[in-house]
Structure 1
Amino acid sequence: MFKENKGIILTGLIIGIISVLLVHFGNPGNMGVCIACFLRDMAGAFGLHSAETVQYLRPEIIGIVLGAFLMGVLSKEFSPRGGSSPFIRFILGFIILVGALMFLGCPTRLIFRLAGGDLNAILGLVGYAVGIIIGIFFLNKGFSLKRSYKVTKVEGYSFPVLNICLIILLVAVPSILLFSSEGPGSKHAPLMFSLVLGGIVGVLCQKTRLCTAGGIRDLIMFKDTYLFSGFIAIFIGALALNLVFGTFNLGFVNQPIAHTDGLWNFLGMVVVGWGSILLGGCPLRQLILSGEGNGDSMITVMGMVAGAAFAHNFKLASSPKGPTTNGMIAVAICLVLLCVISFMAIEIKAKVKMKGDVSV
């Protein structure tokens, strides 16, 4: 297995190490790379939410997108396309961020929390797997967001160009952005260090197709260990460096930016796993696809930004003190919406098949 999967295993080890290095040089605890948290911080930097402790334009996100873009162009895999149920994808991106901010982290941070000794993440991992299993059930029933189509190069380049503009903005005119003076948003590694390491993550993930949701999905559906081996390697790389730096802290309490409510850690990640399978990839994978020119993933990422902003404006996001009542209600609504979307996509497919309409 190692020989066949050595590329993605090496990628996972490097990403795990990069995450701990980012924390060592200033990022919040167990948050070297967290797509959900970082998109939330970026939404705050532009004033899309008013939570003053989580506002910072994260260079890691920009680096991931530009790294994926560069690798996509060099490998001739940059392929502008879109048109696959864009509004549903926006809604699913929104839903995933609500679930992630209930848990306080995306699937990559789930791995980093486990590697840092945070036992609360075990229930998050179980929830993530359960959500993926539910998603697989609907895939087997015929769930589909339909095919995508080739689009103009202008649309494909739009997201990478946007991210180039963001880094110019951060370097040249940071005064127009909002920055936290305390809390997670105030903790960050040096700008260029974060940008370069984010770029490395983007390059490696584009090359290997690394996806946390895809790893569990393929293991269950096809007994294929390729993507899952990357998942495990991230954990091993992060765990090893945490042990070296003495930042491994085994337990449920006193964990950085985490709460101990097991039920809502579980349910939050059920939402993330289920939504990721319907979308065809986890939040990290959506960023990589956006860098490759996939307009559907760009729409998904925008949905995530909107979800992050909404979650903090309406007090849906958890805190180290635990989940909020609004957040619990929101996660329950998200589960209902996932049910509706999942069943409706199957019904649409069935109707199309009955009518013999192959144009949809």
Structure 2
Amino acid sequence: MKDKKVFLGIIGAGAIIGLLSALLVKLGNPGNMGVCVACFIRDTAGALGLHGAKVVQYIRPEVVGIVLGAFLVAVASKEFTAKGGSSPFIRFILGAVVMIGALMFLGCPLRMVLRIGGGDLNAIVGLVGFAAGIGVGIFCLNKGFSLKRSYKLNKLEGYAFPLVQLVLLGLLAAAPSIILFSAEGPGSKHAPILVALGVGAVVGVLAQKTRLCMVGGIRDFILFKDSYLLLGFIGIIVFSFIGNLAFGQFKLGFTGQPIAHNDALWNILGMFVAGWGSVLLGGCPLRQLILSGEGNIDSVITILGMFVGAAFCHNFKLASSGEGPTPNGKIAVILCMVVLAVISYAFREKFSAKQSKKVGVKVEAN
């Protein structure tokens, strides 16, 4: 049983992240987007030319800070371990699927929480879908779903992704002509680089030390009646609400919300896909960034899948806008649910064992 200090620690982490997120919006980030892993990966993908949506192109230093913060504290606490090899391509696909769901809703699970703290009632609708998706994911876990174990790798594998983040930071600072930057739209709105980098690093450190995860909070509460991670989730909502009130950014309602739409069905289904996919992956997009900083190459592969998913979303008009979801996006979300169902079934322990046995019989016959 966790002691009082541990619970205060996760609440404190949520409080700091909520307040700093509200501060980033005050200093220039898009509304209710102090930190959004999905949106920021999407923006970075655009800056690198992976998609051509001119309004969402900017290398977001918050992502760099999250990875480097997690990396430094993991090394300092001797928790850094290079490992991988747990169904890498399936994780890549799941990363893309989670991104498609998130961009249907217009935000990752962390932004969903921050949108609630900013008064966006559409995010509460999204939370319903998110919780339902987690519930389906838990059902799959109970039926034996597993992406198998990972293996220890050369340390250079673990160092590579944090080094890539340093390269991205250098490109942001140098701003060469090969990097694309939005002149208008959400990509043109950002806090000062050093502030954003510093906030990202604080988020990375706090999330690494507390194991903060938007999916884990609901999952653990349903599975084990453990409210530890859920308290961090609630802390972000409460203190982002306080921060938004203090900065005059709070706006209650369904309409006129920044970078959001009020199509309830597709807000639910987008977050349903994000929740289900994140349970299969073992953590939300924020948690995947933290794990990548700790040397987990499976999480790096997941993040790369999210980059490609973001590119697909904007190159093929899958992402929603303030006007609502697109026809292509609706089809993509339905296909994502089919993909999740197939993966959930195929990676059950019993099914995998039967397939392995069949392969063994065929080998013997040959």
TM-score over 0.5 (shorter chain):
yes
**Amino acid aligned to 2:271:** M
**Counterpart residue number, 1:115:** 117
> What do the CA deviations read for 1:208-235 (whole angstroms, capped 9, x no partner)?
1100101100000000011111000011
Give 1:29's aligned residue.
Answer: 31
1:64 alignment counterpart: 66
Equivalent residue for 2:364?
A: none
Mind listing any 5+ residue stretches in structure 2 that lack a counterpart?
A: 361-366
1:184 and 2:186 correspond: yes
Among candidates 142, 145, 151, match of residue 143 of structure 1: 145
How far apart, in 2, do the equivalents of 1:265 and 1:9 lie?
27
Q: How many residues align?
A: 357
User: What is the CA distance between 1:107 and its match in structure 2?
Assistant: 0.2
SS of the aligned residue for 1:105 comes to coil
The one-letter amino acid of 2:152's match is: K
Counterpart CA distance in 2 for 1:132 and 1:215 is: 10
The structure 2 residue matched to 1:153, chosen from 128, 152, 155, is 155
Q: Counterparts in 2 of 1:97-246, with a 5 A limit?
A: 97-246=99-248
Which residue does the alignment assign to 1:77? Answer: 79
2-structure distance, mates of 1:234, 1:112: 7
Give the alignment partner of residue 341 of structure 2, picking from 332, 339, 342: 339
- TM-score by structure 1 length? 0.97
User: Which stretch of the first structure deviates more once superposed, 324-333 or 240-249?
Assistant: 240-249
Q: Render the CA deviation track for 1:213-262: whole Å, top value 9, x for unaligned.
A: 01100000000011111000011110111111121111000000000100
Q: CA deviation at 1:348?
A: 3.5
Counterparts of 1:12 and 1:244 in 2: how far apart (Å)? 17
Task: Give the Cα separation in 2 of the matches to 1:140 and 1:117.
Answer: 35
Letter in 2 for 1:153: K
Identity fraction in percent: 65
1:77 deviation in Å?
A: 0.3
Report the Cα distance in structure 1 between the residues aligned to 2:357 and 2:235, rounded to whole angstroms.
46
Q: How does 1:179-328 map to 2 (within 5 A)?
A: 179-328=181-330
TM-score (norm 2): 0.95
The runs of at least 4 aligned residues of structure 1 exceeding 3 Å deviation read 1-4, 347-350, 352-355
Provide the rounded CA distance (Å) in 2 between the counterparts of 1:86 and 1:6.
Answer: 36
- Cα pair 1:286 1:301 within 8 Å, conserved: yes
Q: Secondary structure at the match of 2:177?
A: helix
**Deviation, structure 1 residue 339:** 0.2
Deviations 1:13-60 (A, max 9, x none): 000011000000000000000000000000000111010000000000
CA distance in 2, matches of 1:3, 1:303: 37
SS at 2:347 equivalent: helix
**Can you give the 5+ residue segments of structure 1 that lack an aligned partner in the other structure?**
none
